[in-house]
Structure 1
Amino acid sequence: MANYIKEIRSLVGHRPIILNAAGAILVNSKNEVLLNLRTDTHNWSLPGGFLEYGETFEQACIREYKEDAGIDVEIIKPIGIFDQGFTVYPNGDKTQVISRLYLVKQIGGHTLNEATNETLDLKYFPFGQLPPLLNQQTAEMLKAGEKYLDSLNLR
């Protein structure tokens, strides 16, 4: 059911709702993490997004990476679940987002060069030099991703 969230918002307006989302950590050869500059809030987050009705976390992660970044990914491992993602969007929508975070690897596609309806820019950043982030949950997800990569001695 495409546009599930739009349909829900048409029924509840800006009232607080709980949504499920999936995102992922993708690092380049310099061990920098890919982030996207959002069109709605004009700050940075991990490529990812809300599940559509009937979709799994894994399916949403793969779909959203393609939509947000132009990259085909394969899920390597789940890293964690984050349930304290409180956000008030510029249009007044209020959410608590329950996010599933994955480690992924690129298997195709290429980073988008042009803006989309959700992404203004894409860049890789060192974990220690992150730009202004969407919310505290995004910061916690990045910290968990960095810790997981450190545990694998990949960095």
Structure 2
Amino acid sequence: MAYIKKIRDLVGHRPLILTSASGALVTKQGAVLLQERADTGDWGFPGGYMEFGETFAQTAVREFKEDAGIVVQPVKLLGMFDSDTYTYPNGDLVQPVNAFYLVNRVDDHQYATKLSETVTTRYFSLHAPAPRFFNRQHAEMWAALKEYLAKH
């Protein structure tokens, strides 16, 4: 987040295109782990913005640990999502370009999450209605995940 803070210090709330990565951790029963966001109270896939020098996969691993307290490994790129814009509660306008991965859990250890970003995490059944997502992009990723799992 230090990289984005430096950019925001220079440009204020002007629109930015930012790269991000997120992951879907799915149980054998067909439930996916989601994060309740501290900034909006809505739900989303654990993930976030890249730091300078990171790859999309490295970003997904770092952000998943920060947001969900779980170390994961990306196993499949499910898609790139770039058609949404979003205005954060503080007025920052972004067009996120998000790499969305299917991920596997690496171990059973549970790490602390960033309290400034995550209220809680919870598994949601992919066979039930989706929760209220914090932006359209996460709803699109939910649909893409369901479609991928239906085929595989």
For normalisation by structure 1, the TM-score amounts to 0.92
Q: Give how far 1:74 is off.
A: 1.1
Count of residue pairs the alignment pairs up: 151
Q: Provide the alpha-carbon RMSD of the alignment.
A: 1.6
Is the Cα–Cα contact under 8 Å of residues 88 and 95 in structure 1 kept in the other structure?
A: yes
Alpha-carbon contact 1:16-1:95 (below 8 Å) kept: yes
Distance in 1, Cα, partners of 2:19 & 2:84 = 10
Partner of 1:3: 2
Q: What one-letter code is carried by the residue in structure 2 that aligns with 1:130?
A: A
By how many angstroms is 1:41 displaced?
1.4
Q: Which runs of 5+ in 1 are unaligned?
A: none
Provide the TM-score with structure 2 as the length reference: 0.93
Greater mean alpha carbon deviation, residues 102-111 or residues 2-11: 102-111
Alignment of 1:109-128 (within 5 A): 109-111=108-110, 116-127=115-126, 128=128
Q: Which residue of 2 aligns with 1:135?
A: 135
Q: Secondary structure at the match of 1:23?
A: strand
Distance 2:15 2:113 in 1: 32
Which runs of 5 or more residues in structure 2 are unaligned?
none
2:7 & 2:112 partners in 1: Cα distance? 32
Percent of residue pairs identical? 45
Q: Deviations over 1:51-108 (max 9, x none)?
A: 0011100000000011001101111111100001311110000000000011001112
Partner in structure 2 of residue 148 of structure 1 = 148
> 1:133 is matched by which residue type in structure 2?
F
Whether the aligned pair in 2 keeps the contact of 1:111 and 1:122 (CA below 8 Å) is: no
| Corresponding letter in the other structure for 2:13 | H
Runs (4+) of structure 1 moved beyond 3 Å?
109-115
